[in-house]
Chains A and B, each alone.
Chain A
Amino acid sequence: MRDTPLSNCERDFLLKAIEEKKRLDGRQTYDYRSIKISFGTDYGCCFVDLGKTRIMAQVSCELITPKENRPNEGIMFFNIELSPMASPAFEMGRQSELLVKLNRQLERCLRNSKCIDTESLCVVSGEKVWQIRVDVHLLNHDGNLMDAASIAAITALCHFRRPDVGIQGEEVTVYSTEERDPIPLSIYHMPICVSFSFFQQGTYLLVDPCEREERVMDGLLMIAMNKHREICSIQSSGGIMLLKDQVLRCSKIASVKVSEVTELINKALENDKKARKTGGKFGFAESLPQERITALKTEVSPVEMTDVKEKANEIVQRADILPQTVPSPVLTAPGTGQEEEGEEEETMELEEGHEEKGRGNVVVISDSDSEEEDVVILNQVTTKETKGASTSNQQGAVASKQQKKRRK
């Protein structure tokens, strides 16, 4: 399956728009797309959404013999896979240039920066060490793969727990998850990549390019940094000439972005830890939004408010004049109430079984203490409306509650 080619018209439009400092989705030059981080049920599984780019990272560990020249250090292994699901341009099993570049960059960013304490991964020096393997899968390609991959990899590493190991003399016991709690990896710092794309020979700069912007860019500058403002790696591709102050400016922008992203990652890790501790539901399936078709729930939708005042006044004028108010309410029958149309009157309802006149099917009960809390209850079916009524009443109730809130 071949990828859709980029037409000249799109390329010209994108370049012209960038000259006017406009992006396709309305972002500013230095804006990132919204980042969403969610975790799976196992430790070490993490999904990152950067706009529409979607990446999954999974960390696993294994006991193996260490390298000869480094007998007391553990081994880190990184692997990025471009699944054909991500884009029609990717084919399974073929090593493309992009894949090699991404793998190299991720290794440089995470391994050479020594963000993980590999000596703590040693079990028996020279014989058994932990090999930590990070598999990164690309699920959807909408630009800026490197940033998303680095965020996913480092978050998965922070989330991962390896089995506990006990050493007694010559004996080494690896405890399973049930026997002893697994322990997290010791991570010194969190390096995160930030990508800058350049257009028109370095004149214009964009942070976090989307896929179409990536296609028309001249060159890419990737800076991997941690929140302590230490640069872990810089890579420039595309063969553009950059001035010194441009690179310095990019590094300043990168430090701001990296601190924001690091905060986001920490918050996500905290939330996940809390959810697991309290026994709440966690995992990928729970973090998906509930996209069921429900007749009982309706989302907040914008309402035409242009001539609401005139309509409301009209209805009020057309409504019957209120009867004289009596000091004590007159009950026509035990447990019934009446509602006037167009008025925000609140009545107490004792039973559910009574008939209302007309369509105003919702009754609002207010708590005796506070005025703010509106409790909306389901009303009983009227003669005209049959099966769908109870659901519609709740919907109508929600809608009218919202309308009342808006009018307030």
Chain B
Amino acid sequence: MGELQRVYFRFCCFFLVFLCHIYCFPYQKCTFTDMLSCFKDKVGDVLLPGDVFSFQMPESITDSKPEKVVCGPGLRRNGDEVLVCKSGILRHKQPNLYWIDSQQRRYVPGKGESVIGIITAKSGDIFKVDVGGSEQASLSYLAFEGATKRNRPNVQVGDLVYSQFIIANKDMEPELVCIDSCGRANGMGVFGAGGLLFKVSLGLVRRLLAPQSEIAKDLEKMFPFEIVVGMNGRVWVKSKTIQQTLIVANLLESCENMTAQQRQTLFRRVADGSI
């Protein structure tokens, strides 16, 4: 009984502490090193758009070497200031990378991200692929492993492809390829038959793709299945029977807002029930 209370107490304390942070410290202006330490203190805190961190270089900077701060998604540099443009939790990766971990469902194409796309049209030399963004991406016939002008890839309208963005910015139409820089497929390309495609939020996808993903580990214990996770929120699952595939799909869709403990209880209940 005591241990559960300790956990709840810690949760509440933490919660109240970062509530204070939101409402008490919206703007910070101090010297560079102080600023950096303030910034570092905020790692793990919830930040809102409009929070400004000003890195003004003081007159004498000889004693401390200027540290580099790399701004990731959600942070934007504006001269001497770092602005927060998305609401979320500030994360830090050694040595100097900072970014905002935010939650959304609408995908915005980014260069180098691997996504699951649906072929919508074949026109001329390219396929039109729907990736869930505002525009359809284009995928060239020749961007498959072993494809030549004579040897066209066997891709039909409505097929799923796992591919990577080589061009993805707000000014141009996004472009996809199914080969890497050496010309090898490296796991990309058209999907085989079977399996189920469904959509989840981007945050869950990032959690699944993280190197030590707990959700993936919990899922593996259930039963064998194949899974492809696209950064655009689309997940493809294939298992031995349709029932198992449906179970995995429903579990993933539902463990979006669960804590780790709730998720494990749910998985265990399902595993006991189905076996």
CB pair A399–B8 under 8 Å, yes or no, is: yes
Q: Separation in Å of the B132 CB from the closest CB of chain A?
A: 7
Q: Which B residues are in CB contact (< 8 Å) with A359?
A: 2, 5-6
Q: Which B residues are in CB contact (< 8 Å) with A17?
A: 242, 246
Instruction: Give bound CA distance, A8 to B192, whole Å.
Output: 11
Q: With an 8 A cutoff between CB atoms, is B110 at the interface? A: no
Q: Which A-chain residue is minimally distant from B4 (CB atoms)?
A: A399
Q: With an 8 A cutoff between CB atoms, is B261 at the interface? A: yes
Interface residue ranges of B126-146 to A (CB < 8 Å): 130, 132, 134
Q: Which A residues are in CB contact (< 8 Å) with B6?
A: 359
Q: Which B residues are in CB contact (< 8 Å) with A304?
A: 261, 264-265
| Given A12-B194, A26-B250: A403 in contact with B1 (beta carbons within 8 A) | yes
**B-contact bits for A296-307, CB 8 A (1 contact / 0 none):** 001001111010
Q: Separation in Å of the B237 CB from the closest CB of chain A?
A: 10
A-B interface contact total, Cβ < 8 Å: 115
Q: With an 8 A cutoff between CB atoms, is A369 at the interface? A: no
Interface range, B side:
35 or more
Q: Give which listed residue, A5, A342, A362, contacts B5 with CB less than 8 A.
A: A362
Q: Which B residues are in CB contact (< 8 Å) with A244?
A: none
Q: Which A residues are in CB contact (< 8 Å) with B243?
A: 20, 22
Q: Which A-chain residue is minimally distant from B20 (CB atoms)?
A: A387
Q: With an 8 A cutoff between CB atoms, is B195 at the interface? A: yes
Q: Which A residues are in CB contact (< 8 Å) with B158?
A: 5-8, 11
Instruction: Give bound CA distance, A389 to B16, whole Å.
Output: 11
Q: Which B-chain residue is minimally distant from A25 (CB atoms)?
A: B250
Interface range, A side:
35 or more
Q: Which A residues are in CB contact (< 8 Å) with B118?
A: 4-5, 7
CB pair A361–B195 under 8 Å, yes or no, is: no
Determine chain A's interface SS by DSSP, over half rule: loop
Q: Give which listed residue, A360, A392, A395, contacts B1 with CB less than 8 A.
A: A360
Q: Which B residues are in CB contact (< 8 Å) with A20?
A: 242-243
Q: Which A residues are in CB contact (< 8 Å) with B193?
A: 9, 12
Instruction: Give bound CA distance, A13 to B16, whole Å.
Output: 47
Name the residue among B5, B120, B261, B262 with the largest chain A CB count within 10 angstroms.
Answer: B5
Instruction: Give bound CA distance, A362 to B197, whole Å.
Output: 48
Q: Give which listed residue, A13, A298, A301, A306, contacts B194 with CB less than 8 A.
A: A13
CB pair B195–A13 under 8 Å, yes or no, is: yes
Q: Separation in Å of the A404 CB from the closest CB of chain B?
A: 8
CB pair B194–A9 under 8 Å, yes or no, is: yes
CB pair B5–A399 under 8 Å, yes or no, is: yes
Q: With an 8 A cutoff between CB atoms, is A400 at the interface? A: yes
Q: With an 8 A cutoff between CB atoms, is A388 at the interface? A: yes
Q: Which B residues are in CB contact (< 8 Å) with A2?
A: 130
| Given A302-B265, A395-B8: A7 in contact with B160 (beta carbons within 8 A) | yes
Q: Separation in Å of the B20 CB from the closest CB of chain A?
A: 9
Q: With an 8 A cutoff between CB atoms, is B245 at the interface? A: yes
Q: Separation in Å of the B79 CB from the closest CB of chain A?
A: 35
Ordered by A's residue number, 15 sampled pairs between the chains whose C-beta atoms are within 8 Å are A6-B158, A7-B197, A8-B158, A8-B159, A20-B243, A359-B5, A359-B6, A360-B1, A360-B5, A388-B9, A388-B12, A388-B16, A391-B16, A395-B5, A400-B5
Q: Which residues of A approach B to under 8 Å, CB–CB?
A: 1-2, 4-13, 16-17, 20, 22, 24-26, 295, 298, 301-304, 306, 341-342, 358-362, 385, 387-389, 391-393, 395-396, 399-400, 403
